[in-house]
Structure 1
Amino acid sequence: MKTLGNFLGRLLLLGLGLLLPLLALEIGVRVLNLAPPPEPNPAIWQPHPLMGWWHIPYSGGLFHSQYNEFEAEVRINARGLRDREIGYDNSGGALRILSLADSFGEALQVNLEQTYHKQLEGLLVDSLSRPVEVINGGVGGWGTDQEAIFYVAEGFRYEPEIVLLAFFVRNDTVNNYGPLELASVSGSQQKEFFSLSPQGELIPPAVKEEAKAKAEAKEVEIRDSNSQPLTQPQPSKPDHNPVLLPLADTLWQWSALYRLVVPYLRDMPPVVQKIGPSGLLGGEGVVRAGHPTTPVHFFVYQSPPDEEFEAAWTLTEAIIKRLRDEVESHGSRLAVVIIGAPEQVYPVEGERLLAANPALQKLTLDLELPNRRLGTFLAAEQIPYLDLLPIFRQAASDPATPPLHFRHDGHWTVTGHRLAAEAIHKFLLAELGEQLK
């Protein structure tokens, strides 16, 4: 009996030894406000038959980072733009610039007036003797393909004089090319893709009805609801149920310590591969566990590009040419802004990229290859372009410069948006000055 009592006593001490430090950490995280809030970010996207997904008009709210890096007010206007209310007509005779972009343009990390669109707008108003409207057409996750479709279906109605296409070199090429995009998201298809004919002609993607008919012919289930993207095939069921997912949801709701730690664990591929399928890292962890250990996007730096990336670049160039032709058919001009990734801007981020992805260490990488490839193409097509990479590198090398990117989120800070706006302002005045007056 005495032995059993000793065992239970030691077990109690062990339990207290584990629980008390966790309780102390939980209290500390709460007092110091280190964790993000438990509430999810507002739902602002919905399925769209042409563009895959699109903003929900009048939606929005307060967005925050899972790493507690930022908090921003986001509102979607009546026409589905993350912008002020703006109509198609331009009765005030303003210079209109339509900005096409992905999440760097959507910019959920900063308030609207802090985005490069609105900072650019203010700079141009100060430089020109006319009103200016820079219209934000950015949508998170979009590729050049969806941006081109948006212009043809909707963007031209705003009658912009300039169409400013932002191109993020890390993933836009992948986003445009079906085989690579599907490989990057474990086959979860959320849109239809452009393709090229054997003669090199650009073939537009199917719209919703055509995609559904094609899927039915292949016996693929299409889900069409507020919670699932259109034209998304039914994913294969996992070999096991994430039994700890309910526990993870409860911990996320009630434990600040859990909310602080888990986002960092999700960024560690070995941890996600081992623990993610159980559900302990939440639903996002389950999804990430099914993704490639080395994200497909990073192979864009492989030199020379492999066959798949060469095909992706060829398709991307065809999409940009088609967009240029559409823009010019409306009497407007297309200009391109090339956005560099953090691993290109900061040497330490490039080192972290290699350290975290052993598969890349076996390859010949050239972090400037995408910029050179795109710049050469744009120059040959006589499309004005600005490469922000050298500008951001120079600014980042100055110790006095505040951070240009959020460390974990990877998008621009207010300072990054300001730097981009100033550079684009100078570029537009130099390249298109007469047209702007």
Structure 2
Amino acid sequence: MGILFPLALAEIGLRLFWGGYYEKDAESRYQRDEILGWSPIPNFDGVHGGAEFKVRVRHDSNGMRGREVSPARVHDVSRVVFVGDSMTYGHAASDEEAFVGLLDSRDNGIETVNLGVGGFNTCQEFLRLKYYGFKYHPDLVVLDVFWNDIYWENLESPGPKFEVRDGKLVQLGFDLEDLNSELIFQREEEGREWRDRLYVYRLVSDSIKLLRAQFRDNFSRKFKEGSKEKDEKTWAIMEALLLEFKNICEENNTPLLVVLIPDQVEVETDKKVLGLPPQFSEIKPRLEKFLSENDIDFYSPLSDLKEDYLRIERPLYYNLNRHMTPDGNRALANAMEPVLRETLALE
């Protein structure tokens, strides 16, 4: 009994004062999808939270993040479809704070459609654009690329993938029933083991995982052995997919703009960030070289974000979550707006 009473007090205290850390969506924001692996649930409206943020998330009737957007053109403005992963979706931002939503809310002649989905690899992003994006008749497609598309998601993430065989992209099959990642489909409390329902246990468990991450950068180590083979495979997939994005946009008479989303370590250079592959410094130059050689328009907001970070003296990224704060989303929207207007030839 001596240990049970303080543990009970700790459990009550955590639930009262730090419950946001373990607050999960009332139901998962995502559903299984036969084409994409998973996709946003239409008409979802709920709270998504973590240790550093708590935000309201809404999907429209077609499963797009933010306000309702009809596939039919109803406004006399330029329409931009954004494709990407959780950075585009706005994982740690409310609808109004996410940079895609910010661009849509401004009086700038631009209407946005957010096709971003958390955890997506570039293969899934291509399929989402192919099957859903052009239904919105966009004037411009923006593909947001983050480095982990290359060094994690295109090889290791669940869901559909491609590989290159004899110089051609081949889509690999996946078992929809076996797709059960808690990172995507968050479990309800009643589906957990009894100990996992205790905030005290989860706090200790998560703290141990965090400490291990500080001393063992497993992600970086994973790519040190056999990295040459992984490099060749993942870059072949990425480059082939970028060409497919270019081709499908040309077939639909729609310009393509690739945006290279910076990592926290590139912007907030005064902070130490773990979890980077040893090839990290080579990614952006190689991407820019490939895009230039293949006449694919691209834009890097890195210098604008660094300038904003130094000016406002507040973080643009969350430290644990590594997604953008409201300030980061605002800085990215400010940087992208004139580029979009120039690309769309808006006065």
With the length of structure 1 as denominator, give the TM-score of the two structures. 0.68
Task: Find the partner of 1:49 among 24, 27, 34.
Answer: 34
Paired amino acid for 1:264:
S
8 A Cα contact 1:344 1:368, kept in partner: no
Structure 2 CA distance for aligned equivalents of residues 146 and 325 of structure 1: 16
Distance 2:144 2:214 in 1: 34
Report what 1:410 is aligned to: 322
1:423 lines up with 2:332 in the alignment: no
Q: How does 1:370-381 map to 2 (within 5 A)?
A: 370-381=283-294
Distance 1:102 1:347, change over 3 A: same
Distance 1:167 1:59 in 2: 26
Change in CA separation of 1:271 and 1:314 when aligned onto 2, cut-off 3 Å: closer
By how many angstroms is 1:110 displaced?
Answer: 1.6
Aligned to 1:204: 171
Give the partner amino acid of 2:28.
Answer: A
Partner of 1:382: 295
1:306 equivalent to 2:259? Answer: no
Gaps of 5+ in 1: 1-14, 183-189, 212-221, 230-244, 273-291
Q: CA deviation at 1:111?
A: 1.2
Corresponding residue for 1:219? none
The letter of the residue matching 1:393 is: K
Residues 344-402 of structure 1: CA deviation (Å, up to 9, x unaligned): 3334544x528xx9xx7xxxx4543111111111111222212233333333345x422
Counterpart Cα distance in 2 of 1:251 and 1:52: 31
State the identity as a percent: 25
Q: Is the 8 A contact 2:139 2:344 kept in 1?
A: no
Q: How does 1:9-408 map to 2 (within 5 A)?
A: 16=2, 29=14, 33-36=17-20, 39-41=23-25, 42-65=27-50, 67=51, 69-123=52-106, 125-126=107-108, 131-177=109-155, 181=156, 190-198=158-166, 200-206=167-173, 222=175, 224=177, 228=180, 246-252=193-199, 257-269=200-212, 294-295=218-219, 299=223, 306-347=228-269, 349-350=271-272, 352-353=273-274, 365=278, 367-398=280-311, 400-408=312-320
Contact 1:340 1:389 in 2 (8 A): yes
Choose between structure 1 and 2: higher helix proportion.
1
Deviation at 1:310, TM superposition (A): 2.2
Q: In 2, Cα distance between the equivalents of 1:197 and 1:26?
A: 54
Inter-partner Cα distance in structure 2 for 1:228 and 1:26: 29
Unaligned runs of 5+ in 2: 182-191
Q: How many Å apart are 1:428 and its aligned residue?
A: 2.2
What CA distance in whole angstroms lies between the structure 1 residues aligned with 2:227 and 2:303? 22
- The structural deviation recorded for 1:73 is 0.9
User: Using the alignment, how far apart are the partners of 2:176 and 2:296 within structure 1?
Assistant: 39
- Distance in 2 (CA, whole Å) between partners of 1:267 and 1:305 is 25
RMSD between superposed Cα atoms in Å: 3.2
TM-score, L = length of structure 2: 0.84
Aligned residues, how many? 336
**Alignment CA distance shift 1:415-1:38 (3 Å):** closer
Amino acid corresponding to residue 40 of structure 1 in structure 2: K
Q: Which one-letter code corresponds to 1:324 in the other structure?
A: K
* Superimposed CA distance per residue, residues 130-168 of structure 1 (whole angstroms, 9 cap, x where no aligned partner): x42111101000011111111111110100010010001
| Cα separation, 2, equivalents of 1:342 and 1:77 | 30
1:7 matched residue in structure 2:
none
